[in-house]
């Protein structure tokens, strides 16, 4: 789930990044990009064993994007964009795991 759409999301907000923490509007923009990226991926790409319904997937992706967006600082966004932080960085995987765990109820 973190691979391509996270990098795309970070690219789109990079021009907005000014301070250490993303502003509420920047987080909201990032959340929207993360949500759209999650919804475009196939359930198998997102690690689902069984295919969730469209409603379940939308609820899961909305929840996960809400959890993920506020966890990024401007330095991390720039680190990803400059290649100093790789898209498969363990910190990103930990965040995705936490968001997936927090939102798992939408897949039941």
Residue 88 has pLDDT above 70, yes or no: yes
42 vs 26: CA distance, rounded Å? 26
Collapsing DSSP to helix, strand or coil, 31 comes out as helix
> What confidence category does residue 43 fall into, taking pLDDT thresholds of 50, 70 and 90?
low
Q: Among the listed ranges 29-38, 62-71, 75-84, 89-98, which one has the minimum average pLDDT value?
A: 75-84
88 vs 74: CA distance, rounded Å? 18
In the chain, domain spans: 3-107
Question: DSSP state, 84?
Answer: S
pLDDT per position as a tens digit, 18-40: 446 888 888 888 788 889 988 88
13 vs 77: CA distance, rounded Å? 8
Do 34 and 69 contact (CB within 8 A), yes or no? yes
């Amino acid at each position: 789930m973190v691979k391509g759409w996270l990098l795309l999301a970070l690219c789109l907000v990079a021009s907005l990044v000014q301070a250490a923490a993303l502003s509420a509007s920047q987080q909201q923009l990032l959340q929207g990009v993360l949500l759209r990226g999650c919804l475009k991926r196939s359930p198998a790409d997102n690690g689902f064993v069984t295919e969730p319904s469209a409603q379940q997937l939308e609820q899961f992706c909305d929840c996960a994007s809400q959890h993920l967006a506020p966890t990024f600082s401007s330095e991390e966004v720039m680190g990803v964009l400059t290649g100093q932080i790789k898209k498969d960085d363990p910190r990103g995987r930990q965040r995705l795991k936490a968001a997936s765990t927090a939102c798992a109820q939408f897949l039941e």
